[in-house]
Structure 1
Amino acid sequence: MSIEIIVGLPHLSAGPILAQACALRQPALISANALSRWSDRRGWREWAGWRLSQLRNAKGLSALCLDSAGFVAAARYGGFPWSLTDYVALAAAFPFRWWASADYCVEAEIARDREEVIDRLSRTIRANRDCRRLAEDHGIADTLMPVIQGRLPADYERCIDALWGSLRPGSLIGVGSMCRRDIHGPEGLVAVVDHLDQILPPAVRIHAFGVKGSALPYLLPFEHRIASIDSQAYGISARQAARQAGMSKTDRFVAAHMARWVGAQHERLASRALRLPHHRPDDLGSMPMDPWATAIALARSEIRDLIESGDLDHDQMTAPWIEQWAADIYAERLAG
């Protein structure tokens, strides 16, 4: 068994990015947020439905999966701007390979204390059950992927216990709150995957949301358990490379970065003699409360990950660049 690389797409508009994904014959993941329509007609920005016409452009992809955009919804909007009924209707509008249950992420910048983490676990369990009920009404329950959440490895077990009845042999479940997680430590990526490997039935595999390429060497011992990961890290790399070159970040430029990134991930998976990268002990669990300080911390973390994975040169972490990167993160949050 091998871990499948699923490419996160920023949109489904016809153009170089989608064409590259089709040419690579690479399965892709689209966020519900990327398919959203928005309106300012009433004097404020509000959700106005789905851009279903874009789904027609996806027919050339080898496979397309759908994510509920739980982190984006929490970080930008304070919650889902659409109902679960709306979301499941979107899932029914296209033959997705799988579509993820709605979930409530528990990253430190979203769930700031233990009580809020537990509250969001309960909401995730309820959202899974509601999505399954609605999926059965639409006849798409067989492509629904349950999603579990947690801060501690044992938190995920709480979700699994509640959803055990829907975990049949051959099931695929999504594991959330992974992309900002350190690799090592008691709450690290390896600890979570190892814990899940011990408690899940042998025939159940997992999709790990947002795992960066630098973590792949540490996941190779769990190939029997991990079916796939997804990432859009190539987009971050393209943005910064374009800035350094003093050029626009066009879709064609991003598409070229996608091709190189996909190739690099397959090389990682193909090499069993791969040297494990040096561990960088980040404490993202103690993310500062101040929005600018948070943006700086996230910028440093993202740049370090890309340097370790080989997507950026080792000398590309400078104070002005960190501030520019943080400014983008800060502006994106304000825009949301």
Structure 2
Amino acid sequence: MNEPVPKKRSITIMVGLPHLADGKLLDRARRLQQPVLVSANALSRWSTKRGWREWTGWSMSALANAAGLRSLCLDSAGFSAMSRYGGYPWTIDDYVRLAASYPFHWWASLDYCVEHQVAGDREEVLDRISRTIRANIDCRRRAEEEGLNGSFMPVIQGRLPSDYERCADGLGSTIERAGLVGLGSMCRRHIHGPEGLIAVIDHLDRTLPPRTRLHLFGVKGEALPYLKPFIHRVASIDSQAYGVAARAEALRTRRPKSDAVVADHMEHWVRTQRVRLHQPSRLLPVQPPPSEPVRTDDPWEDAIAQARQQMRELIESGDLEHDELTVPWIEQWAADIYADRMTV
């Protein structure tokens, strides 16, 4: 009896859509039959009745327009939430309610991105990794309660390649059970270098469970030939980069950035990525990982570092909420640690 021929793996190209309004952009996405990713931010309702912009819930009716798409996935809009609003305007319960409102192919956990625009120093990166761990654990718990565990996708964060391993380790069984894991803070990352995209993928290829595959949020299309050697790991990428090209054309031609213009750029982007998928694989030389910053011997700085680490542990354990503001406490917490040491 002949053995079945294993299905050849490929990297799926997903199109990020800025909205689900019925029109030329959504119609083009249907015709292209590429999987679609939509952000929670694109499905949000806002009000200025009280004199400021306030989140008031979800626009569920827009999801009815998704009929005819090949598949639809949901992103938590972490970068937009952090860079525009300073944090998530919605709770985990709010977000899970959105995830339950449509049969999404997958929906990504809330996470805390660490791009330089959001996390300015090493300590903030580590803080946000701990918050990401806790948000994943809480999202998974709510997914299990709502019967959504099958479509839940955990997301790991980091700046250094080892950060992503640290985040995955903090999630324990959540990663071990997941067939697909999202990688955040990718869209502004270089392909090359010790902190580059390929360095991260190479590190995770050696440290994640063998069956775990990856979705890369916002990865540049030119990375595809470099990702092909990791096709056993990389399941999919998404991008909304075509919108930047559409905006540039609108400015250059002094025409509105209409959905028709954006749709043309989206189709061009998709066709370009399909060509890149058939280009030969490209290998990058392995580069040594960047070293962790050296700690000082200053007792006050050491007390600050210990206070922050203890707060991270409390966030990961659930004794502090993932979105709880801890910055005002750090110096007082460190002062207590410092005083205890000085009295020993």
Same fold (TM over 0.5): yes
Which amino acid in structure 2 is aligned with residue 85 of structure 1?
A: D
C-alpha distance 136-263 of structure 1, shift in aligned 2 (>3 A): same
From the CA coordinates, give the structure whose radius of gyration is larger. Answer: 2
| Deviation readout 1:254-282 (Å, 9 max, x if unpaired) | 101111110000000012278x99xxxxx
Give the Cα separation in 1 of the matches to 2:148 and 2:128. Answer: 25
Unaligned runs of at least 5 residues, structure 1: 278-336
Give, as a single letter, the amino acid of the residue that structure 1 aligns with 2:118. I
How far did residue 26 of structure 1 move? 0.7
Q: 1:63 to 1:118 in 2, by over 3 A?
A: same
**Alignment partner, residue 16 of structure 1:** 24
Alignment of 1:172 onto 2:180: yes
Aligned 8 A contact 1:148 1:174 in 2: yes
Taking the aligned partners of 1:201 and 1:91, their CA distance within structure 2 comes to 26
Deviations 1:48-97 (A, max 9, x none): 00000000000211100000000000000000001111001000000000
Return the TM-score normalized by structure 1. 0.80
Task: Find 1:150's aligned residue among 158, 179, 191.
Answer: 158
Q: Which residue of 2 aligns with 1:219?
A: 227
- What secondary structure, in the 3-state scheme, does the structure 2 residue paired with 1:74 have? helix
Provide, for residues 206-226 of structure 1, a one-character-per-residue CA deviation record: whole Å limited to 9, x for no partner: 001000111112111111110
Which letter maps to 1:251? D
1:53-202 matches, cutoff 5 A: 53-168=61-176, 171-202=179-210
Is the aligned partner of 1:32 residue 2:32?
A: no
- TM-score when scaled to structure 2? 0.78
Q: Aligned with 1:85: secondary structure?
A: helix
1:207 matched to 2:221? The reply is no
Assess, with a 3 A threshold, how the Cα gap between structure 1 residues 71 and 154 changes in structure 2: closer, same or farther: same
Closer, same or farther: CA 37–207 of 1 in aligned 2, 3 Å: same
Shift of 1:170: 6.3
C-alpha RMSD of the superposition: 1.4
Partner of 1:235: 243
Counterpart of 2:299 in structure 1 is: none
Unaligned runs of 5+ in 2: 1-8, 285-344
Aligned residue pairs total 276
For residues 170 and 250 of structure 2, the distance between their equivalents in structure 1, rounded to whole angstroms, comes to 46
Q: Which amino acid aligns with 1:111?
A: A
Native 8 Å contact 2:155 2:181 kept in 1: yes
SS of residue matched to 1:150: coil
Which residue identity lines up with residue 231 of structure 1 in the other structure?
Answer: S
Letter in 2 for 1:121: I
Q: Give the partner amino acid of 1:157.
A: E
2:252 maps to 244
Is residue 44 from structure 1 mapped to residue 38 from structure 2 by the alignment? Answer: no
Decide whether the 8 Å contact of 1:210 with 1:229 is kept in 2. Answer: yes
Separation (CA, whole Å) in 2 of partners of 1:31 and 1:273 = 31
Partners of 1:153 and 1:271 lie apart in 2 by 26
**Any idea what the Cα deviations from partners look like across 1:120-164, whole Å, max 9, x if unmatched?**
000000000000111112110110000000000000011111112
